[in-house]
Amino acid sequence: MTALIIDDERRARAELRHLLQSHPEIKVVGEAENVTKALASIANLRPDLLFLDIQMPERTGFDLLSELPRPTPRVIFCTAFDQHALRAFEVNAVDYLLKPIAPERLAASLSRLQLNPPPEPPSLPFEIHDRVLLRTTERTWFVPLKSIRLLESVGNYTRVYFEDDSPLVLRSLSALEARLPAAYFFRASRTQILNIAHILRVEDYFGGGFYVHLKGQNHGIEISRRRANHFRKTMTL
């Protein structure tokens, strides 16, 4: 299992690397001293495991996790502060180690890892009458899928519009699309998916495209000519 050590203290990184020499099943592939460098290292090295400090300059370890695309590496927090333990397990951390890290405590933490876990079964698509969980760091919604009228890509996040809410959830648009029933949710563009049940009217648009108005949505949705042609073939009686 490959690992990345993320800590702003050089001595702490060196001590942890020394402790890990007793665990040949863990290969340290790099170090990072802040969130910015960690994000770059994770993108380049794709580690299986993060040894992650919490309190770092500018941004915290939790900030790092919020910016990572799914699926994220597994995480063992290594920190001098005990007040963040509950939040750590809310983000599915493997363990929460307090500095200075005792060798036996590290060994116990690593024993929790499944070095060769079986592949997870594929997520099944929802049905239109299902209710779904939408989660942010501040709140959780449990809403009817059919109430979602629009999904918009925002980097690695997706803004989900339903009723009077529009939370930003940490899932890519493509990941969400795989769970949506294709008979109701139409990929209008690279960054938008709309629920056809919420369409008020469709207008012809420049270049052979469409301009779609949705219930409860202040702005219309532009559909390119290529996607509009697909829409015509799919929806024309």
pLDDT at 119: 52
Structure tokens at 50: 């993060």
Angle between the 103-111 and 10-20 helix axes, to the nearest 10 degrees? 70
Rounded-to-integer distance, Cα 157 and Cα 69, Å = 8
What is the pLDDT confidence band of residue 56, given thresholds at 50, 70 and 90? Answer: very high
What tokens does 88 get?
Answer: 């750590």
- Written out in words, the top-level CATH class of the domain with range 131-235 is mainly beta
pLDDT tens for 152-196 read: 999 889 999 999 999 999 889 998 999 999 999 999 999 999 999
| Residue range 2-111, CATH number | 3.40.50.2300
What pLDDT does 117 receive?
Answer: 56
Is the backbone peptide bond immediately before 125 cis, with ω within 30 degrees of 0?
A: no
Strand partners, 209: 205
Q: Report the C-alpha gap between 157 and 154 in whole angstroms.
A: 5
Per-residue pLDDT of 61-116, as tens digits, reads 999 999 988 788 999 999 998 888 888 888 888 999 999 999 999 999 998 886 54
pTM: 0.52
Using an 8 Å Cβ cutoff, are 132 and 143 in contact?
yes
Q: What is the 3-state secondary structure (H, E, C) of the chain?
A: CEEEEECCCHHHHHHHHHHHCCCCCCEEEEEECCHHHHHHHHHHHCCCEEEECCCCCCCCHHHHHHHCCCCCCEEEEEECCCCCHHHHHHCCCCEEEECCCCHHHHHHHHHCCCCCCCCCCCCCCCCCCCEEEEECCCCEEEEEHHHEEEEEEECCEEEEEECCECCEECCCHHHHHCCCCCCCEEEEECCEEEEHHHEEEEEEEHHHEEEEEECCCCCCEEECHHHHHHHHHHHCC
Whole-Å CA distances, 212 to 101, 194, 208: 58, 10, 13
Query: Parallel, antiparallel, or unpaired: how do β-strands 192-195 and 148-154 relate?
Result: antiparallel
Give me the pLDDT at residue 214, please: 96
Cα–Cα dist 196/92, whole Å:
36
Domain edges within the chain = 2-111, 131-235
Cα–Cα nearest to 61, from 43, 88, 86, 83:
88
The mean pLDDT value for 212-229 works out to 92
The residue assigned the tokens 């290594």 is 78
